[in-house]
Amino acid sequence: MILIISENDDASTDQVLEWLRYYKIKFLRINNNNFFDFFHLAIDSVGKTSFKLKSKISEINNSKISGYWYRRGRLSLSIDLLKEQKIKGLSVSSNSFLINEANSITELIYNEFHNKTKSIGNINENNTNKLVNLKIAKESGLDIPNTWVITSKIELINLLEIHKRLLTKPITQRGLYFENEEINFDGQSNIVNRKHLKLFPDNFPPTLFQNYIHKAFELRIFYFDGELYASAIFSQLDAMTKVDFRNYNFQKPNRTPPFKLPKFLSDSIKVFMRKIKMKSGSLDVLVSTDKKYYFLEVNPIGQFYQVSYPCNYYLERRIAQYFQND
């Protein structure tokens, strides 16, 4: 049986499940609102681990799980001891201790799932470090933008003296943007130039800046089990998507045809993905007007339908086939 951890509204998971049914592959889908009680865990003298979890609608027995796909979300594990009404007078510190105990158990469970013979994704990859990945990408032969993380207005002024225009983006989830003469935060990339300097205080939280690269178009590349599937995104033709294609124009979507990657780029991406030990992920690459390819980032749980459907790659079927004969 294939265990899939996902979220209720993830359409990509729904499509993969349709193909699993087509191939008559048994699966169990766990969404992040399914709460499991912990019943049993044992590690024998030879290191074999067994455990059992049970919710109101399903049961997970590790011995019956042959494959694993971590799509997104998390396994919600509750232990009876964490319910304060079961232990009268439970102190705050004791409750914190029990939560830490539960987290350690969950960590082992995830590790067991990840070590299955057929396994895609890892919850720990959600915390992939954008800055570390830039460095590894360069070591793997990929070009990257010049990148700075700064905290002072003086440093920003000095950068703008040289580069005139910068791009800022989140280090993790949310980066700054400008609205109504104020600095706000969101998850997209935004341009910074000298006219924005008046909005910055003398010191501000660590913020990522990159040199602005004149873009011809973008690439969204889905990597899966050693293979690459690329789509060009002609985001420059629309003012809404010119800086960040994720600022979608649903009335007039960007054209996204299949794209054949040059061999040097394909080889470097494969080296990079092996180094960061990801079996799947969505990569963003910028193609400059002078025909250079710049790696921007990789998202381990990024959506791949925008590569799959327009380009007829049938990635949902490809993922289901991975679990055949398991």
Instruction: Out of 8-12, 72-76, 96-100, 298-302, pick the least confident.
Output: 96-100
Range in 59-63, 149-153, 191-195, 235-239 with the lowest mean pLDDT: 235-239
**What domain range is 247 assigned to?**
129-141+214-299
Lowest mean pLDDT among 46-55, 87-96, 220-229: 87-96
What is the mean pLDDT of the segment spanning 200-206?
A: 86
- What's the whole-model pTM score? 0.84
Same-domain check for residues 121 and 6? yes
Same domain flag for 163 and 223: no
- With cut-offs at 50, 70 and 90, classify the pLDDT of residue 187: low
Please check whether residue 258 lies inside any domain of the structure. Answer: yes
Domain termination residue (choose one: 166, 195, 211): 211
Q: Is residue 309 part of a domain?
A: no
What whole-number distance in Å separates Cα of residue 72 and Cα of residue 100?
22
Kindly state whether residues 43 and 169 are assigned to the same domain.
no
Specify if 318 maps to a domain: no
- Assess if residue 326 is contained within a domain: no
In a domain, 219, yes or no: yes
Of the listed ranges 37-51, 105-119, 203-217, the one predicted with least confidence: 37-51
Asked if residue 30 is part of any domain, the answer here is yes
User: Which of 240 and 139 is assigned the larger pLDDT?
Assistant: 139
313 pLDDT higher than 90: yes
137 and 280 both lie in a single domain: yes
Does residue 69 fall inside a structural domain?
A: yes
Give yes or no: residues 184 and 292 share one domain. no
Residue 165 CA to residue 323 CA, distance in Å, equals: 47
CATH code (residue 236):
3.30.470.20
49 and 104 co-located in one domain: yes
In Å, how far are 217, 253, 259, 313 from 310, measured between CA atoms? 16, 11, 11, 8
Least confident interval from 144-148, 186-190, 201-205, 246-250: 246-250
The overall average pLDDT reported for the chain is 84
My answer on whether 157 and 202 are in the same domain is yes
The total domain count for the chain is 3
Q: Which of 158, 188, 211 is the last residue of a domain?
A: 211
258 in the same domain as 133: yes
Same domain, residue pair 120 and 13: yes
In a domain, 49, yes or no: yes
Helix (H) or strand (E) holding 42: strand 35-43
Q: Does 184 lie in the same domain as 154? A: yes
Rounded CA-CA distance 233/127 in Å is 26
Same domain as 194, residue 64: no
48: nearest Cα among 37, 36, 34, 63: 63
Task: Indicate the residue among 194, 211, 228 that finishes a domain.
Answer: 211
Same-domain check for residues 178 and 193: yes
Identify any residues that bridge with 217 across adjacent strands, giving them in sequence order.
Answer: 287
DSSP string, 80-124: GGGSGGGSTT--HHHHHHHHHHHHHHHHHHHHHHHTSSEEE--GG
Give the whole-angstrom CA distance, residue 273 versus residue 269: 6
Give residues with Cβ within 8 angstroms of 229, minimum separation 6.
221, 222, 223, 304, 307, 308, 311, 313, 315
